[in-house]
Amino acid sequence: MPVYGASLLSISLGLAVLTIFLLVFFLRRDDDRFFFVAQRTSLSVCFLVTLATVTLLASLVKGDFDVDYVARYTSLGTPTLYKFTAIWAGQSGSLLFWLFILCCYSAVVLLQNRNRHEKLMPYVIMTLAVVQTFFLLLVNFVANPFSPVEANFPVHDGLGLNPLLQNPTMAIHPPMLYLGYVGFSVPFAFAIAALFTRQLDAVWVRSIRRWTLFTWLALGLGILLGGWWAYNELGWGGYWAWDPVENASFMPWLTGTAFIHSIIIQEKKNMLKVWNMILIFVTFVLCIFGTFLTRSGIVSSVHSFTASSLGPMFLTFVFLILVVSIYLLLTRLDDLKTERRLESFISRESGFLFNNVIFVSICFAVLWGTMFPIVSEAVTGTQITVGAPFFNQITIPIGLILLFLAGIGPLLAWRRTSKESLIRNFSIPVLTGLGTVVVVMGFGVRAVYPLVTVFLTAFVTATVVLEFWRGVTVRTRKFGENPFIALLKMISKNRSRYGGYIVHMGIVFMFVGFIGKAFDKDKEWSMLVGDEVHIAGYDIVLTDLNEEERPNHFAWIATLDVVKEGKDVVSLHPEKRIYFHRNPNPDRRQPHSELSLYSTWREDVYSVFGGIDQDKELLTIKIMVNRLVRFVWLGSYLLLFGTVISLWPSRGFVKGA
């Protein structure tokens, strides 16, 4: 099995390199046969990599412990689901998984465009083949997932999967992130093709619009699932910690979001051609850079893989991408010149442009904060850590400006907006925002940021609701439809527009959730059974402590009765677990706190069993009362729903989109 897997990867590498040569030959000789062979060799690479991935999965499930990767990340006791998910638990397996997704995407691009974009496709396939070659080099020569185990005795069991990764969310979060990271290769390949062929009109932009949206959605969902996992599994009570690896996924999402907005301008107004090229290059480079940050070990993070020799190879690849991209961009500047200029400061075009500037500014701030410890260490020899306060101080105000722009965008007309339109469109949203602030102040809230956020969330909500209401009114008046049918038809005929508004509402709900952070409470106690503690109006009683031996761990289970104003609310059962508890080597046993949570729209009561003094039966219990967290998850659902609506092809759908 491992020999077969390794051979498949070697043949794939040869075929990927052959694809590049065949395409170069085709472009020089203009003989279609070489192009058709290149298409087939490229499809063969996809097939072989898929076969290699299936081979590794089979080894993981079967427990081929003579394969180093299998012995490191699974054991006889690992549940079957987590034997599958172990494929992305380690360096080499996850690189193969990256490559597998890239191959799936490449195959779809190839098959989808068999008879389309004749001029662009050779360059698209070549660019994808170059990226495939890079990852094939890694999995063949640097981190081969089929390497045999280095032991001179038969290995009968493996080390097992990290308990933190034994969570259902972990079965979805990494693939989602990968779908996002890898997916940006496709728009990047089309951008490179457009530059090579000088076919810089709206065709390439239209060709990748759906790809970009899908990829952006996958990356966004990956990030949100990571937040969900952190909140429900790690036990520190938050969903975002500005960890370098989290930031690495957030940065391409930011520039990708800017790109999604700015390609609308190129499609509609033939403007921002250079800017769009820069954005997609930066986004792709950030995807590779993020992969580098996670794998090189240069940043310390709970999410990163151990330090490896992959760093220089990734940096070289990033450098090559930058050199080629910048060269193509500079030599095609004349073709990228746009005939139009911004006509007015108060127009939808400038709204989009400001939104782009803001997204890129946040990305730059996050990049600076992420890289500062490394830069400071290189310059001064001392690593200066940049923590959450730095990121919050910079990104909160900029994020609020972004929220404001999400509100005013739909209210502005293309080209220029007259004063009458401005007054008519802004009055209701502004009054709604101010009214909501007054109501919230009535509840005693005086802090500036929460109040500004409340104003903006109400303002944006009003603009979106107004847009829907006006659209429905037009249809009911014009076609005599009932409001519900009018709403459905209106959305179905303008999917990208109304899908976009639903995504904006998702972002609004997330901001509502972020407001809650300002009012969180937490406290830690040492408790004996029978003890009672109080936090944020809740009385919490430790009523029981049990022990349980389970297949792959041992658990102490606390029972905490939560009471509010004399009424029983819920019983929470946080656990302290010891994974690999039967291992004779105590260093190999892994403690883990499994939290227990009671969630409502207003707040979550979040309990963590931190530790136990077995002699005194004294438990360390931490309780957090986290406000409005559910709104963050509600926002995620809306983000998903809105993007799916935007992605759904309408009847008048332009081919190639």
Partner 1 sequence: MFATIMTVLTFVVVLVFSVQPLFISRGRSRSSYKVTAEALELRKLLLYEQIKELELEYEMGSISSADFQLNRSELKREVSTVLEKMNSISLE
Q: Which residues bind partner 1 (CB under 8 A)?
A: 1, 3-4, 7-8, 11, 15, 30-33, 36-37, 39-41, 43-44, 47-48, 51, 117-119, 199, 201-203, 206, 267-268, 410-411, 413-418, 420-421, 424-425, 467, 470-471, 473-474, 478, 494, 497, 654, 656
Least distance from partner 1 to the Cβ atom of residue 461, Å: 17
Say how far apart CA 216 and CA 257 lie, in whole Å: 7
CA dihedral 190, 196, 198, 199 (to 10 degrees): -30
Least distance from partner 1 to the Cβ atom of residue 17, Å: 13
Which of residues 155 and 413 has its CB atom nearest to partner 1 in the complex?
A: 413
Which of residues 49 and 176 has its CB atom nearest to partner 1 in the complex?
A: 49
Q: Helices 185-197 and 310-331 sit at what angle, rounded to 10 degrees?
A: 40
Least distance from partner 1 to the Cβ atom of residue 47, Å: 7
| 156: CB partners within 8 A, 6+ apart | 65
Least distance from partner 1 to the Cβ atom of residue 57, Å: 16
Least distance from partner 1 to the Cβ atom of residue 470, Å: 4
Per the DSSP assignment, residues forming a β-bridge with 353 are none
Which of residues 327 and 345 has its CB atom nearest to partner 1 in the complex?
A: 345
Least distance from partner 1 to the Cβ atom of residue 478, Å: 7
- Find out whether 239 and 227 touch, Cβ atoms under 8 Å: yes
- The residue among 335, 387, 395, 393 whose CA lies nearest residue 360 is 395
Least distance from partner 1 to the Cβ atom of residue 4, Å: 4
E-strand ranges in 127-251 read none
Which of residues 8 and 279 has its CB atom nearest to partner 1 in the complex?
A: 8
Which of residues 54 and 378 has its CB atom nearest to partner 1 in the complex?
A: 54
Say how far apart CA 418 and CA 412 lie, in whole Å: 9
DSSP 350-417: HHHHHHHHHHHHHHHHHHHHHHHHHHHHHHHSSPPP--HHHHHHHHHHHHHHHHHHHHHGGGSPSS--
| 219: CB partners within 8 A, 6+ apart | 176, 177, 179, 180, 181, 183, 184, 249, 252, 253, 256
- Find out whether 219 and 139 touch, Cβ atoms under 8 Å: no
Which of residues 319 and 469 has its CB atom nearest to partner 1 in the complex?
A: 469
| 400: CB partners within 8 A, 6+ apart | 449, 452, 453, 456
Say how far apart CA 611 and CA 614 lie, in whole Å: 9
Which of residues 206 and 564 has its CB atom nearest to partner 1 in the complex?
A: 206
Dihedral of alpha carbons 326, 332, 335, 339, sign: positive
Which of residues 42 and 74 has its CB atom nearest to partner 1 in the complex?
A: 42
Which of residues 59 and 166 has its CB atom nearest to partner 1 in the complex?
A: 59
Least distance from partner 1 to the Cβ atom of residue 18, Å: 8
**Continuous H helices in 120-201:** 121-137, 173-183, 185-197
Say how far apart CA 323 and CA 316 lie, in whole Å: 10
Least distance from partner 1 to the Cβ atom of residue 450, Å: 31
Per the DSSP assignment, residues forming a β-bridge with 611 are 620
C-alpha 406: how far from chain center:
20
Least distance from partner 1 to the Cβ atom of residue 469, Å: 9
Which of residues 44 and 308 has its CB atom nearest to partner 1 in the complex?
A: 44
